Structure 1
Amino acid sequence: MLAFVRDHGAPHILVVYGLGVAPALLEACADSIIIYNSIDAPALRVPPEVSARFDLVLTGAEWQSDEVEARHPGMATAIMPVGPEFAGVDQHRPLGGPKDYDLIYVAAAQGYKRHDLLLDALETLPRDVRALFVFGYGEEADRLRARIADAGLSVDCIGPPGVPIDEVNRLMNRARFGMVCGRDDGAPAILTEYMLAGLPVLCTDDLVCGRQFILPDTGRCVAPGDLAGGIMAMRADAVAFSPRDTVLARWTWPHTIERLRPLLKKIWLNKYGNIDAG
């Protein structure tokens, strides 16, 4: 990336996701607007000497914005998580096919996604409750498959490796609703991706970022211990929600860009004093 910047110049806007940005790159892009998207909890997953160079931090919840303020007083923040708030209109969409699964959980086969909570609930429910797990990656897939088999659950697993986006959309369309069980998680993009595919979302109420996307029209939040009841309620009335319409009205990227634009303009003016500079 340093070679690219040397050859082509720094971008007007540099967006940093999660981990892995070198201070040398930020120095080379000192005249850029540098935006950081936290992705996961905690809010800042880089050292202070790196985060001090950010002009704007996009967070997934108020507590994350507070963490940024505590480390860097006065730094600009916005609760505007890139994943769910910059959703594409057509990448995930209803297909109108049959629904042969009750629920789908698209999530890495890793502990922080808390598949075990969902399996605990499914073990208490009738075996005609059908679920589909889609793993893009993760080291726990074999263990989860073994537990599913030992318990005789009606759960099918796909991946790792992951499947193409169109296939994810097709798989979503086979389910009545989508699941999010993570707690120490950034606002997952999958929240609005499910919704754009026409699926309401059942979410655990201790998710630290992203619960603002669960509205009466888009899904339900339940305590982790109440997942079994939540699953049966969603199974009964998933068709009563209108998740896609709500996302289209609130959270697709054209809406969010309109909120982001004045923040970028303010940062640019603070740096250059003239919106036409550079």
Structure 2
Amino acid sequence: MLEFLETVGVPHILCVYGLGVDTEILSACANSFKIYNSIDAPALRVPAEVSGLFDLVLTGADWQTAEVQARHPGMACAVMPIGPEFADPLTFRPLGLAKDYDIVYVAAAQPYKRHDILFDALERLPPSLRTLCVFGYGEMADDLRRRAADSGLDVDFVGPPGVPFEEVNRLMNRARIGVVCGVDDGAPAILTEYMLAGLPVLANARLSCGRQFILPETGRLAEAADFAGAITAMLDDLPAFSPRQAVLDRWAWPHTITRLRGLIAKTR
């Protein structure tokens, strides 16, 4: 990284997501405007001597902002998670495809995504319900395939490895609703990506970051034990939702860039 900076010069804006940065890199970018976004549930995933060098921290929830400012009083913060607030309405969009799945679940095949909540719900729902799981990466894919087979669930799987964004959008378009099951998770980008594809979202009511994207017109929040009932209720009431328009009005990236530009100017 240092060699790269020496070769091409330091950026006007440096964005750091999660891990993978140290004081040497940030010092080399002393004249850059430095932005940190966790992308995961811990507000700051770097030591204090690193996080103290940022000009602006983007968080996914008010509690994260409080944690950042407890560590660095006066630090500029904004609840503006990189994933869902910078969603692209051209990449994720309705395609008018036939809806041959009831549910789509796009997530890493890793334990923190809490696939068990969805599969527990599916085992309580009618076997006629069709589900599609799309995994980019992760070590649980084979276990989940076995569970679906052992339980007689009508679940199809794609990946790992992952597929291009265009294919993710096409696969989402084949379903009626999207689900987010995680608890100890940052604000997942998939929240508004589902919505831009025209799908209302059922999310875990205990999701650490990102519950603000679930509005009456975009989806529902439910406790893990209530997921089965919430899935049924949403599938029975699909005309009540208008998720894409809600995102276009509030969170698509042109709105967020305007806010970010103002924050950078104010902080500087």
TM-score by length of structure 1 reads 0.95
Where does 1:74-223 land on structure 2 (aligned, <5 Å)? 74-223=74-223
For 1:73, the aligned partner's letter is: P
Cα distance, 1:249 vs. partner? 0.6
Q: Which residue of 1 aligns with 2:240?
A: 240
Q: Deviations over 1:39-80 (max 9, x none)?
A: 001100111111111110000000000010111111110000
Match for 1:255: what amino acid? H
Secondary structure of the structure 2 residue equivalent to 1:7: helix
Q: Which residue of 1 aligns with 2:16?
A: 16
2:34 counterpart of 1:34? yes
SS of the equivalent of 2:19 reads coil
Tell me, in whole angstroms, the C-alpha distance in 1 between the residues paired with 2:117 and 2:89.
31
Count of paired positions: 268
- Give, in angstroms, the shift of residue 255 of structure 1: 0.4
TM superposition shift of 1:8? 2.4
Deviation at residue 162 of structure 1 after TM alignment = 0.3
**Partner Cα separation in structure 1 for residue 230 and residue 34 of structure 2:** 41
Distance 1:183 1:239 in 2: 28
* Percent identity of paired positions between Structure 1 and Structure 2: 69
Matched residue type, 2:221? C
Q: Deviations over 1:214-265 (max 9, x none)?
A: 0011000011110000010111122321000110010011101111112101
SS in 1 for 2:220: strand
Q: 1:33 touches 1:267 (CA, 8 Å); kept in 2?
A: no
In structure 2, distance between residues paired with 1:110 and 1:64? 23
Aligned match of 1:67: 67
SS in 1 for 2:30: coil
Query: Cα RMSD (Å) of the superposition?
Result: 0.8
Code of the aligned partner of 1:60: G
Distance 2:264 2:188 in 1: 24
| 1:262 correspondence with 2:248 | no
Structure 2: distance between partners of 1:159 and 1:8:
36
Q: Which amino acid aligns with 1:67?
A: E
TM-score, normalized by length of structure 2? Answer: 0.98
- Aligned equivalent of 1:253: 253
